Amino acid sequence: MDEVFARRDLIDPATLRDLSGRSDAAGLRQLGAHLAAILASGLALHATLGTVWVAIPFAVHGVLINFLYAGQHEMSHWTVFRTRALNEWVGRAFGFVLIYPRDFDQVQHFAHHRHTQDWDRDGELVRPPYGLASYLLWLLGPSYWFTRIRRILRFAAGIVTEPYVPESRRAGLVREARWHLAGYGAIAAVSVATASTAALTYWLAPMLVMKWSHQLQNTIEHLGLPHAPDILVNTRSTRTNAVMRFLGWNMQYHTAHHAFPGVPFHRLPDLHRRIFTANGTAPPSMTYLGFQLAVLRALAGGRSEADYPDDRAWIAEGEPARHSEELRA
């Protein structure tokens, strides 16, 4: 995705061109570090099997696997590597591991960027408004995994109902889902034939159980902000530490990313400083914990996302959410 959706009033073209330069070296450093961390946590998990200490590397391993989606996301934007084929094929490998086919993710995500916070066209908003139960099921992972697995099965059967999927992409998404199922079936067959639990122990179990860790990032980016066509008010950045920024491939600078999606992940801190810090402004931002506590308070007492206005923020720092009845009063 190039800068077609960018806020060109925020930065001069020459600076944007400089920040938008791709780098195989920078991409390979991040990829290598993330994969090395997964290898280390996997070895630690293996070394502690059968002991009470296994819970620690199990959790770390699951977090690291789930945050591979940060890399898949960036590779769908073609920005991690200068070499285009690396973006595609590493992205496909990540999509296979994460049970989230790369081509479908790209179609859905581009619809999200083109129509951010538009209930009818944003690829990430094809869902009912959250209530407390549905939000917790999504945050903790059960409904997330149910949705992902059901979609692959549905696509493999040739049933594509998502309104944001162009007709020209449907056949390719069906083929992609069938290749995924064939691959998962082959892994299952080998596991059964060899009586091996390796795929479950080092991949599926930690990934499924620890999905909530990556949902902290997924949920904070837009929920509770205005459904308005303005990136500076409908997209939230996250205040966090260097470890989380490493895991998230800098996607915590999410407002900057949405403003200029063609800027690679490793230049997002610079972009944020250029368009916000240098101008004495700041995007909507919260901490992970502060955001989750605010959402739980807002959805308590039987309230749902539909009880809050679309034209203003109902999750913001330092103030309680005000639902529609309170605002009318």
Q: What's the pLDDT at 1?
A: 47
- What are the start-end ranges of the H helices in the chain? 13-19, 24-48, 55-66, 68-76, 84-97, 102-114, 132-140, 142-156, 167-193, 198-199, 205-209, 211-220, 231-234, 242-247, 254-259, 268-275, 288-299, 324-328
Q: What's the pLDDT at 164?
A: 95
* Residue 222 and residue 236 in contact, taking contact as beta carbons nearer than 8 Å: yes
Please state the pTM of the whole predicted model: 0.94
- Between CA 204 and CA 84 the distance in angstroms is 29
C-alpha separations of 245 from 4, 22, 168 in Å: 26, 19, 36
Residue 46: count other Cβ atoms within 10 Å of its Cβ.
Answer: 14
Q: What's the pLDDT at 52?
A: 96
- Residue in 269, 265, 257, 275 with CA at minimum distance from that of residue 221: 257
**Can you tell me which residue has the tokens 């205005």?**
226
Side-chain half-sphere CA neighbours of 286 within 13 A? 26
Tokens for 253, please give them. 């600078």
Cα pseudo-dihedral 197, 199, 205, 211, rounded to 10: 180
Residue 126 gets the label, from left (phi > 0), alpha (psi -120 to 50) or beta, of beta
What single string gives the DSSP state of each residue in 81-103?
Answer: -SSHHHHHHHHHHHHHHTT--HH
Q: What's the pLDDT at 9?
A: 78
- Between CA 20 and CA 266 the distance in angstroms is 10
- Residue in 288, 220, 212 with CA at minimum distance from that of residue 254: 220
- Between CA 59 and CA 18 the distance in angstroms is 39
Residue-wise pLDDT for 263-301, tens only, equals 999 999 999 999 999 999 999 999 999 999 999 999 999
Residue 114: count other Cβ atoms within 10 Å of its Cβ.
Answer: 15
Tokens for 33, please give them. 């570090």
Mean pLDDT per 10-residue interval, the chain, length 329 residues? 57 95 98 98 98 98 98 97 97 98 97 95 94 98 98 98 96 98 98 98 98 98 96 97 98 97 98 95 96 97 96 86 61
168: which residues sit within 8 A by CB, 6+ positions away? none
